[in-house]
Structure 1
Amino acid sequence: MGRPTKGALPMTSYTVPPTAGNNQKATQQTLLEYQAILENASVGIIFTRDQRVQHCNQRASAIYGWPHGELVGQPGSVFYLSSQDYANIGRIAYPMLSSGQLLDHELPMRRKDGSVVYCHVRAKAINPENTAEGTIWIVEDVGERRRAEAELQDLLLKQHAILENASVGILFTQDGVIVHCNPRMEAIYGWPHGSLVGRKSDVFFCDTEDYENFGRTVAPTLMAGGLVDIEWRNVRKDGSTLWSRHLAKALTGQDGERSTIWISEDITERKKIEQDLATAHRDLEQRVHERTAELEKAHQQLDAMIQSSPLAIYARDRKSIVTSWNPAAERMFGWSADEIIGRRMPSVPPDRIHEFNDLLRRVLSGETLMQTELVRQRRDGKTIYLNMTLAPMRDSAGCITGYLTIAADVTEQKKAEQQVEFLAYHDALTGLPNRMLLQDRLNQAMAHAERTGTHVALMFLDLDNFKQINDTLGHACGDLLLKEVTARLKDCVRDTDTISRQGGDEFVVVLRDLPDSQAAVPVLDKIMVQMQKPVRIEGSELTTSVSIGVALFPDDGGTF
């Protein structure tokens, strides 16, 4: 900006001959209106002459990070990242502007502080026949738009990757015709890659009647906008049958066209297992019936002790169906005996299913598990910590028929232990890592940087005026300010970075995996911007700032 022309349109003053009368007033009013439009435009407007800025509006100053008024007189090269960039734009712009054409270009440019701003620049010579009269430049900051476009492209790539690599079949249909499907869908139904697109979806059904029956079953739900969840016997390309589970939902595009997404999985093996389980369940019921007398006698002997115990004592059969449930278990888990006996206990968190299955395997193999600490859920969803003993139960022939559980609630004890452990490594007020945990995180970050050739930035932050705020508004207000500062710092860094409070108004930030020493600058700028924003606490608007020191590893050493 600035090189292509030799002049600019002056904007600082206008005069009209005193004899103009009413025309003089009208002209002055028009000039004032033009001046107002220029200064309040949402785009940057710059006039150049002789490769220097003659005038610019406030928006242009803001885009390039200059105090308003300081750009006047500056050479056009201040807007470019290098002299080469400046020369390049000159070679592009001069022929266009001198021929009266509009220059329309998008490029990275330079702010006063050296940071990069992406701009959409449009320029035109004021007089193409005499470019020395100057050039007008219209500038828009398109950084946010570019970031949004990049995020959209990234999202599309991720969605494509999910579709192509999903472990379930995914298919889209429109008017009963397949318009897209992923490789897994082709594999499930035995079709060559790409051969399903364009075919009618009746290829998955044994005959037309079966296809129409399926359509009548799912159509009401799809038409109502609901989610279809159905199991159906389908056919592969070679005619063999399989059981499928289909999830489907109707979609409406922006153009109003309707389509349907289908997510399918092969559940043939699961169906076989269900059938086997049903047979096993019937066999187990027969065995339970035959041994009722013996179990009843054992139950009578133990019932008095179980009912009066302060510990939760309950029994389950080999399928984990609850067969007995004492009052302590009711209090501990929240289900009454009438509600839970005859059912599986829905108390195992989803992330503990594998652990539960392993324990079940061990106890049903004859092992007694003594005082095992486990996590469970109450009926109200509350997590509780239990100290459990699980023992197999045998019939008179020595066969394991189920297992007995004795549980003590150690939730409060566990919470106390967790709190002690947390406070050993975290700040009590903000919950941030303390110096001990910070040292560990920093050591890990530096070790990783040595292995990967990356950098680590260590930022020391000190809140300005914090003592004055604390003294005037009280420690409670100061504590709220520290919590707000913590929240703002978290918004400025990645999840892999570490924020630590060192005490008082001092914070330390560790930025890891930096490609170079300059990668910390955007984070530093973001923190400075966040800290300059006012904070409203208990009706008071507080303004503070922060002093920041930065050290880089390995550039500045490796000792904290």
Structure 2
Amino acid sequence: DEKLNLIYTSPSTERLFGYKQDELRGHSAFEFFHPEDLAAHEERVRMLLEGKEFPSIEFRVRKKNGDYIWCDVATKAIQTAEGDSRIVVVTREVNERKEMQEKLEKFGALCDKELHNTKKYLEQLISRLPLALVAWDKDCKIKTWNPKATQMFGFSQDEFLERNPEDLFSLTQAQCPIKQVWNQLLEDEQATFIGKNRTKNGKNLICNWTNMLLRDENGNPDGVLSMIQDVTEKKKLEEKLTGIAYSLSGVKAGDSYLIGSIQESLKIAFDLTSHSIKGLFIVREDPDYLINNYNFKPEDIVLLSAKSIKEFKAINSLQDIAITITKFLQNKGGVVVLGGLEYLISRCGFNPVFMMIQEKRFEFLEAGATLLVPINLATLDSKEKGLLTSELKLIN
């Protein structure tokens, strides 16, 4: 009734609360509410009797054994035919759901705390990182700029946030690596390049950029994290050492050579790679022999064969050879030994092989790299030898 005395309870009340129907009749519903909820219930009853409507609410109800359970309760005020006020109450237990909700809330609070701590830790890590670190979104707007980036380039965080990373390069817009790195990141997730950068005061730097693709919560590409290291002095030293290595080897960076034996080519390549010049060896030699006798790295050896051996990569088409060389030359410099020319000519014919060499020679010139092509000259006729020596410098 309007005083919340129980007039009727359904048979399911016993299953839900443990009371028989006659045990509840005449008792006030307030007797079964949790003490902390009483004030809210009194106000709700008053407003119901005034004609207000409410959505269902959740509150605690005492069972016969003294335990409290959470219930979802819908209420509605009605009038009897005699004009008396009555309140109809429909109740269902939601104890398990409420307990799960509370656990989730506690877990969420714990996660928020852990997330806050992790974020704080990462912020400290970024600020103390000995490398310049910048993050830029898919619109090429810089969103993160750490203190080392300020130290390296001279721009404060406020000066460079929302700017394009291309503004750090001394190259023209068409040549800037940033325009090219995005497509590579979409394919490989990570990309490294060496760029010519410019500081706020106009000083030129040579920097190594290590870039990683960032994704949003749905896995879509969302930006790039770039770690930048100033390698200007290191590059100057490497250039001096490279110059010494080339002067001792008898070949020059940017030139391409035709050599009468594979052993001579490998010796020259060994002299260069021993001075930290990177190498690529596309050959038909035993890879273990190259590793043991010339100290070449396994990952730098590509077998010219239709069948791979052990973990070594194998290629046998002119297209695959051209792609492998072009990819190697992207980072500039280095030495490439293109062996097995006799094998290629026997499979593909002289003209296609010669045309590939013609095209690649200019890539080596542009990259400042050296191409060594060993071949048994006795396998060539005079015309073929003349054509090759018109493109490649002959070393007997």
Given the two structures, how large is their TM-score scaled by the length of structure 1? 0.32
Higher relative contact order (CA 8 A, sep 6+): 2
CA radius of gyration, larger in: 2
